Amino acid sequence: MSFLTSFSEDDQSHFFQVAGQVPDIHSHFDLFMWLGGGLQRFLPHDILVAAWGDFQSGALHIDIVSPLTGIRTDDINVRAAAPLMSDMFKRWQTGQKVPYAIQVGSKGFDLPEGYAGSPLGRALQQMQASVVHGITDHRGQYDCIYAIFSKQPLPPSSRYALGVLLPYIDNALRQVMHTPADIPDSQPAALAASAAARSGVAPMSERERQIMRWVRQGKTNGEIGTILEISAFTVKNHMQRIFKKLDVYNRAQAVSRFKDSTLNG
């Protein structure tokens, strides 16, 4: 708690004011204003990137908040940021899950080949420093990594500041509806129902088909819940309905019986 106890009386008052604003954040605009307001006093930054999901496979959800033109979640190809965030996650995980700083100076941060010229790639090349920290959700069984990027060198206190402020940032982000990445699906629901009827399998909903695609790839209920932004308990309930529709008793049988032209064709 040395970071907080080092505050002046004015800083302490400002800190609790910033923390007290979190319950009032209900939209992306609220989040944008909060991150760009009083929080900057303790954690100056130009871009905030949050990533969660399956870091091993790179199947991530990413949110980006920044005042820079064109640097928004809706404008960014998730694949562009996924490798960088996965690398930051691995460093955080192997470093005993404590906040760490990266100072790259004027050379900036690089994205993989093919994305360097993208809006996010050009913006990150202008950043000189980053502070990274994560949160483990033991109930949801997944990790979320946060990285702030700054055009200016960050003071050493930024690591401690992110450690103290991340629970508030994480809570604020969870109160805002995420803009989900599109999950490709070229098979209309009507065609899926028709194919199911021909195979003797009861028609499944779009959500159930999404879940079965991930089951077929070996994902657990917790991992599927993270990818689809629903709880593992909800996935379990869907799986029970899927078993009943497919007339099976376990996941292996369900995968064997499940027919989906988007995977098999």
Q: What is the CATH number of the domain that holds 229?
A: 1.10.10.10
Tell me: do 159 and 198 sit in the same domain: no
Tell me: do 139 and 197 sit in the same domain: no
Tell me: do 129 and 254 sit in the same domain: no
Tell me: do 151 and 210 sit in the same domain: no
Tell me: do 31 and 67 sit in the same domain: yes
Tell me: do 157 and 73 sit in the same domain: yes
In a domain, 184, yes or no: no
Question: Looking at residue 201, what is its pLDDT?
Answer: 55
In a domain, 179, yes or no: no
Tell me: do 114 and 223 sit in the same domain: no
Give the range of the structural domain holding residue 216, as residue numbers without chain letter. Answer: 189-259
In a domain, 180, yes or no: no
- Between helix 232-246 and helix 221-228 the angle, nearest 10°, is 110
In a domain, 17, yes or no: yes
The string of pLDDT tens digits covering residues 114-133 is 777 888 888 999 999 999 99
Question: Looking at residue 184, what is its pLDDT?
Answer: 35
Domain count, the chain: 2
Tell me: do 166 and 132 sit in the same domain: yes
Tell me: do 11 and 108 sit in the same domain: yes
Q: Which residues of the chain have pLDDT under 50?
A: 1, 180-195, 197-199, 260-265
